[in-house]
Amino acid sequence: MTQDQWGRLKQDLLKSVGKSNYKSWIEPLELSHMEEGVATFAVPTSFVGNYVSQKYGDQILYHVQSVAPDIRRVHFQVPLNQPVRPAPARPVAAAAPAPQRDPMMATAPLDKRFSFDNFVVGKPNELAHAAAKRVASGGPVMFNPLFLYGGVGLGKTHLMHAIAWELSQRQPDLNVVYLSAEQFMYRFVQALRERKMMDFKSMFRAVDVLMVDDVQFIAGKESTQEEFFHTFNALVDGGKQIIISADRAPGEIENLEERIKSRLQCGLVVDLHPTNYELRLGILQSKVEYYRTQYPGLTLADGVLEFLAMRITKNVRVLEGALTRLFAFASLVGHEITLELTQDCLADVLRSSERQVTIEEIQRQVSDHFNIRLSDLIGPKRVRIFARPRQVAMYLSKQMTSRSLPEIGRRFGGRDHTTVMHGVRRIDELRTTDSQIAEDLELLRRTLEA
Ligand code: ADP
Ligand code: MG
């Protein structure tokens, strides 16, 4: 990402966060450098950094990924050569964050939407969900820590917030603290600087449930690790529940002390797998219900959600971002959300998450699957044993590539685009009535996606 691109993204952010938020939080951000999947921005104070990370981190990451797809994290840092200024007591008036918290209260703000009710369960996340539910029930500590890991945007933070919500609802007196490993470090460093280590220690020792998100962040940060280790041990010894998340398994976090790794492995380690089609569709359906209340009067054509679930496989965050944009766009232009509108509006997202399956690959897989020759799949014979697989291949070509109907027609022995359209429609109908076809499609899609 260049400075120019960042400048343009800022303008996009201006639209989505509003002018006063923009002035306070986005405008001061300066792109500092990009390295190993992390985009680092310079911020004037650690307070701004913390707040922006919490409140806008996801949005910024989403925008950055649209021009630099391999960025996995955004990071906000006070430049080293700048004297560290104490955070202002009252931050920029216009868009001050929620009422100032008791400085001794360690927990970071929780997102209301991240509840169990809003979490869609599917095969890839059912174990993590079950473990989270168990911990949230607040019974005796059964596994300590609960360690959740998985790639970006698969629901780790969502599950942690959901646990925190549920626990604090069931037991309002419980001292539940959720924070990112980055915030843990900031607080630790701040305590060191202000000579308040005793307060820091007693604050964390008084916690009943501690949740530390994205623990991989403390890799390579020795004194923070040390302090984390002591906090961790004190809490475990006191029978307090700890919940940790990371982007990979404990053993795979580089530059993390061995004794911490082994401590983290002591409890229950569960991973969130990459999403599958069903889960993505389920998530989209549940989000659409919400959007229907936000944008009454907008209609959604059949097949749009299926198309998105099939094409945007990256992670749930990107999927959600796409849907948000789609509804916002459709509401502006006041149109029904059709497949064409979707393709126009999301062209860049679709392109960047394209798995680049080719029509040739599809044809090869389909003929293998149905045990017919490639020449028969493409050739002129119209008997059912060739025609049906051909339609399946056309359908998959339409769904999984960005080729137009005439282009697909050309690759299938120079057929007309209306023939392709007919085939695609036919399979679309059969999908819902013929379970064999549905299964064939599912199998083929998985093989092609892999
Ligand atoms: P992570 O912390 O693993 O990077 P998040 O928990 O921040 O991911 O999830 C990214 C976005 O996707 C959030 O908005 C979250 O609500 C949403 N999300 C992830 N998984 C699910 C799910 N199973 N059901 C509903 N929303 C989900
Ligand atoms: Mg997260």
pTM for the full predicted model: 0.63
What is the pLDDT of the chain when averaged over all its residues?
A: 88
Measured in Å, residue 108 CA sits from the centre of ligand 2 at 13
Considering all CA atoms of the chain, what is the largest pairwise distance in Å, rounded to the nearest integer? 83
Q: Residue 86: pLDDT band by 50, 70, 90 thresholds?
A: very low
Mean pLDDT, range 430-442, rounded to an integer: 91
Q: Which of 179, 316, 320, 323 to mutate to test the pocket of ligand 1 (most atoms within 8 A of CB)?
A: 316
Ligand 1, CB cutoff 6 Å, lining residues: 114, 118-120, 125, 150, 152-158, 283, 316-317, 320
Residue-wise pLDDT tens digits, 161-183: 999 999 989 998 999 999 999 99
> Is 101's pLDDT higher than 50?
no
Residue-wise pLDDT tens digits, 284-306: 999 998 888 888 888 999 999 99
> Is 130's pLDDT higher than 60?
yes
SS3 225: helix
Judging by DSSP bridges, how do beta strands 209-213 and 176-180 pair with one another? parallel
Higher pLDDT, 148 or 297: 148
**Res 321: pLDDT:** 92
Q: Residue 87: pLDDT band by 50, 70, 90 thresholds?
A: very low
**Res 97: pLDDT:** 41
> Is 80's pLDDT higher than 80?
no
Measured in Å, residue 155 CA sits from the centre of ligand 2 at 7
> Is 144's pLDDT higher than 80?
yes
What residue's CA is closest to ligand 1, atom 25? 119
8-state DSSP, 181: H
**Res 119: pLDDT:** 97
Task: Using alpha carbons, select from 131, 177, 380 the residue that is nearest to residue 272.
Answer: 131
Measured in Å, residue 374 CA sits from the centre of ligand 2 at 45
Mean pLDDT, range 115-139, rounded to an integer: 95
Q: Give the integer Cα–Cα distance in Å for 188 and 172.
A: 27
Contact criterion met (CB below 8 Å) for 254 and 225: no
Burial of 235 (0-12, 13-18, 19+ CB in 10 A): buried
Residue 357 identity (one-letter amino acid): V
Ligand with the closest atom to the CA of 156: 1
Measured in whole angstroms, how far is the alpha carbon of residue 254 from the centre of its chain?
23
Q: Residues whose CB is under 5 A from ligand 2 (ion)?
A: 156-157
**Res 156: pLDDT:** 97
Contact criterion met (CB below 8 Å) for 155 and 125: yes
> Is 106's pLDDT higher than 70?
no
Q: Which two tokens stand for residue 241?
A: 């529940």
**Res 104: pLDDT:** 45
Ligand 1 atom closest to the CA of 319, numbered from 1:
12
Measured in Å, residue 57 CA sits from the centre of ligand 1 at 14
Residue-wise pLDDT tens digits, 394-417: 999 998 887 889 999 999 999 999
Q: Which of 71, 315, 317, 319 to mutate to test the pocket of ligand 1 (most atoms within 8 A of CB)?
A: 317
8-state DSSP, 414: S
Cis peptide before 145 (omega within 30 of 0): yes
> Is 338's pLDDT higher than 90?
yes
In Å, what is the CA distance from 62 to each residue of 9, 49, 318? 10, 17, 7
Q: How many CB atoms lie within 10 A of CB 277?
A: 17
How many residues belong to the chain? 450
Mean pLDDT, range 69-98, rounded to an integer: 58
Q: Residue 89: pLDDT band by 50, 70, 90 thresholds?
A: very low
What residue's CA is closest to ligand 1, atom 21? 155
What residue's CA is closest to ligand 1, atom 1? 153
Ligand 1 atom closest to the CA of 111, numbered from 1:
16
H or E stretch covering 176: strand 176-180
What residue's CA is closest to ligand 1, atom 20? 155
Q: Residue 354: pLDDT band by 50, 70, 90 thresholds?
A: low
Ligand 1 atom closest to the CA of 125, numbered from 1:
23
Q: Residue 94: pLDDT band by 50, 70, 90 thresholds?
A: very low
